[in-house]
Structure 1
Amino acid sequence: MEHRSYWGVKKLNLDFLKAGKERMLHLNLLDEFRNEAFANSSIYKARLKTYHDKLIEKKEFFPGDAVLLFNHRLRLFPGKLKSKWSGPFTIKNVMTNGTMKLIGHDGGTFMANGHNIKRFYSKNQQDEVFVVALTE
């Protein structure tokens, strides 16, 4: 009496060695597809990064500029109408690594990261900027 699985293989005339080699070929082909997809995704990410980097506007600050400082502590519970920006402060010194030394209202100085700073425009400066933008 023959075993049923052996009988099925004999009936279908299957070769285990040939099936094993074909399975290995399929696995290698799958690895090639995976590697190609990884390479394509890294190319796509690099192109997308260069595109987004072109859109970033450079912020340049000089000593004497009036700036606002982002207050991280108000991030969680800012209140309904409370601004997250404090200031205006005056820039005393700009470091090469993007750090800035700011002068407060009381004359005290402190350091702040350049990413947390934006330029402050007084009412007169805002009107001037608006007029210049309309004329261009």
Structure 2
Amino acid sequence: MLKYGVTHRLSTAYHPQTSGQVEVSNSGLKHILERTVGENRASWSDKLNDALWAFRTTFKTPIGCTLYKLVYGKACHLPIELEHKAYWALKHCNFDLKTVGDHRKVQMNELNELRDQAYENSLIYKEKTKKNHDSKIKNRVFNFGNRVLLFNSRLKIFSGKFKTCLTRPFTVSQVFPYGTIELS
């Protein structure tokens, strides 16, 4: 890490509230590996490069393009396609330096525009997801002195048809902004 000037910061191993994008990426990669490896789980390291290639060349809805295109600014081509286009590329290599430089500047600007567009698509996707999530939340208004039942999510994991996840009645003792309440 010293060689490349990387500073390493320690973080908790699993904290899904702060690493949502990482969790989604890891679960996608895990799903691809599960399908490729199949029964013989010992060979997962042999299939990792293929799984990463599949993951990086798959269209991602939140950003509106593939990860490969986001990094390199163009769609990826399979090796067979590159072999076919090799002659065409050789014919066009004889540009003069000014034309090549101008062309490269245009490509760099297009890459920046592509990344900006991916960022905007990501924000739009997050807004839609939040709106969909918030539409399912029931708006409850609690006042001082109300009697309420508390939902205990830990009781939900135990099976039992008639077991309730609600615990004894509590009284609302204080109401804070943004829906937080204190129970007694």
Which structure: greater strand fraction? 1
Which structure: greater helix fraction? 2
Structure with more contact order per residue of length (Cα contacts < 8 Å, sep ≥ 6): 1
What TM-score do the two structures reach when normalised by structure 1?
0.48
What TM-score do the two structures reach when normalised by structure 2?
0.38
